[in-house]
């Protein structure tokens, strides 16, 4: 087949090129540019090559130590909230009513935390947890539990995790609920006839049918929690000490606190790369899970 050559088409895609160039490519290239240089202010830059990247991956340097520590904290945080939010979301979805007016009520209540802006969530929990005037903090101390997220590492972690669970379990629950709703009634009837127990129904029908939405939920929650900034920043500010300083908080400290543009740029690029790789892994897993479902022609 002959290809039609039509140079006019370039003009038609030009606006897109321009928009993407200004919104994504140029800023990214600026970051790449910064990551190769060092600055001492006054808009003076000095070439540093891959120096920052070497430092980043070397835990013995200041930059590398801080980056790897915050990365570790961030991964731990993501794993903990996934381990809590996914099973909890499934349980919530399973215990939701399937019909009647209560469905709408449940959906609205579940959607509420999702509609609150991040910094407001942070503020809510920051006040809620205060031992002097916060309802949660005051009550916990009153019943004899020594709780203070400002001074105690573990309390700070618990607060940040509980806050994230409160904020985002709904999302997992809603996704799972949608997955559950798509299961035809005949499956439950067949399971009944097959004498399946509640647990067997969950394992044989509900969990496999929720597979794909669960993957999406895990992906969304992992990405979001891996990039978390506002909520812990508002509640703990990364403290006490560095105990709740996640990668994004560390990044802002380096970029805006110390104005080390080169280090911050290198860190951003590596951070971005990690997220891209994880996204790619999830995407591959998800598309492969889809292919498996295609019926084979000529079977039987």
Partner 1 sequence: MARIDLVDLAHSYGGNDAPQETFALKPVTMTWRQGGAYALLGPSGCGKTTLLNVISGIITPSRGKILFDDKDITPLSTQKRNIAQVFQFPVIYDTMTVGQNLAFPLKNRGVPKAEIDKRVAEIGRLLDLEPYLNRKATRLTADAKQKISLGRGLVRSDVAAVLFDEPLTVIDPELKWQLRSKLKALHRELDLTMIYVTHDQTEALTFADTVVVMHDGRVVQSGTPAELFDKPAHTFVGYFIGSPGMNILPAEVKGREARIDGHVIALNRSYDSLPAAAKIEIGVRPEFVEVVAPTPGLLTAKIERLDDLGRIRFARARLGDAKLAARAPAGFTSSDGTAGLKFDPAHIHVYADSLLVEGAA
Contact residues for partner 1, defined by CB under 8 A: 184, 186-187, 189-190, 192-197, 200, 204-205, 207-209, 292-297, 299-300
Cβ distance 236 to 52 under 8 Å?
Answer: no
**Which residue, 191 or 261, has its beta carbon nearer to partner 1?**
191
**Which residue, 213 or 270, has its beta carbon nearer to partner 1?**
213
**Which residue, 15 or 195, has its beta carbon nearer to partner 1?**
195
Tokens of 106: 């449940």
**Which residue, 23 or 182, has its beta carbon nearer to partner 1?**
182
Paired strand residues for 37:
47
CB of 71 to partner 1, least distance (A): 35
Instruction: Give me the residue label for tokens 């999830």.
Output: 282
**Which residue, 24 or 203, has its beta carbon nearer to partner 1?**
203
CB of 205 to partner 1, least distance (A): 7
User: How far is Cα 214 from Cα 165, in angstroms, rounded to an integer?
Assistant: 16
Tokens of 188: 């439950």
CB of 285 to partner 1, least distance (A): 16
CB of 183 to partner 1, least distance (A): 10
Can you say how many angstroms the Cα of residue 235 is from the centroid of all Cα atoms in its chain?
18
**Which residue, 218 or 278, has its beta carbon nearer to partner 1?**
218
From residue 70, give the alpha-carbon distance in Å to each of 48, 73, 140, 227, 249: 24, 5, 29, 12, 9
**Which residue, 68 or 204, has its beta carbon nearer to partner 1?**
204
**Which residue, 6 or 296, has its beta carbon nearer to partner 1?**
296
Report which DSSP code applies to 228.
-
DSSP alpha helices (H): ranges in the chain?
Answer: 8-20, 26-35, 51-56, 62-95, 101-115, 118-128, 135-142, 153-181, 185-193, 198-201, 207-226, 230-235, 247-252, 261-292
CB of 199 to partner 1, least distance (A): 10
CB of 225 to partner 1, least distance (A): 28
CB of 207 to partner 1, least distance (A): 8
User: How far is Cα 33 from Cα 223, in angstroms, rounded to an integer?
Assistant: 26
Calculate the dihedral angle through the C-alpha atoms of 30, 32, 35, 40, rounding to the nearest 10 degrees: -20
How many residues belong to the chain?
300
CB of 90 to partner 1, least distance (A): 16
Q: Give the containing element (helix H, strand E) for 45.
A: strand 45-47
């Amino acid at each position: 087949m002959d290809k039609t050559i039509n140079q006019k088409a370039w003009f038609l895609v030009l606006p897109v090129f321009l928009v993407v160039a200004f919104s994504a490519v140029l800023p990214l290239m600026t970051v790449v540019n910064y990551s190769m240089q060092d600055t001492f202010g006054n808009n003076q830059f000095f070439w540093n090559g891959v120096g920052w990247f070497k430092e980043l991956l070397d835990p013995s340097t200041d930059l590398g130590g801080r980056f790897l520590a915050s990365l570790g904290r961030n991964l731990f945080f993501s794993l903990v909230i996934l381990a809590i939010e996914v099973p909890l979301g499934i349980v919530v979805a399973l215990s939701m009513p399937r019909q009647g007016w209560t469905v709408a009520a449940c959906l609205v209540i579940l959607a509420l935390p999702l509609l609150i802006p991040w910094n407001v969530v942070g503020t809510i929990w920051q006040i809620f947890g205060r031992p002097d005037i916060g309802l949660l903090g005051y009550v916990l101390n009153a019943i004899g539990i020594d709780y203070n997220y400002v001074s105690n590492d573990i309390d700070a972690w618990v607060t940040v995790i509980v806050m994230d669970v409160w904020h985002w379990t709904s999302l997992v629950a809603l996704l799972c609920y949608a997955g559950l709703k798509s299961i035809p009634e005949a499956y439950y009837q067949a399971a009944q006839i097959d004498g399946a127990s509640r647990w067997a129904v969950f394992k044989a029908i509900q969990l496999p049918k929720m597979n794909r939405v669960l993957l999406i939920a895990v992906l969304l929650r992992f990405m979001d929690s891996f990039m978390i900034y506002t909520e812990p920043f508002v509640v703990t500010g990364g403290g006490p000490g560095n105990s709740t300083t996640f990668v994004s908080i560390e990044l802002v400290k380096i970029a805006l606190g110390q104005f080390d543009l080169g280090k911050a740029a290198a860190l951003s690029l590596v951070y971005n790369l990690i997220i891209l790789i994880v996204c790619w892994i999830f995407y591959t897993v998800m598309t492969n899970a889809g292919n498996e479902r295609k019926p084979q022609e000529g079977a039987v």
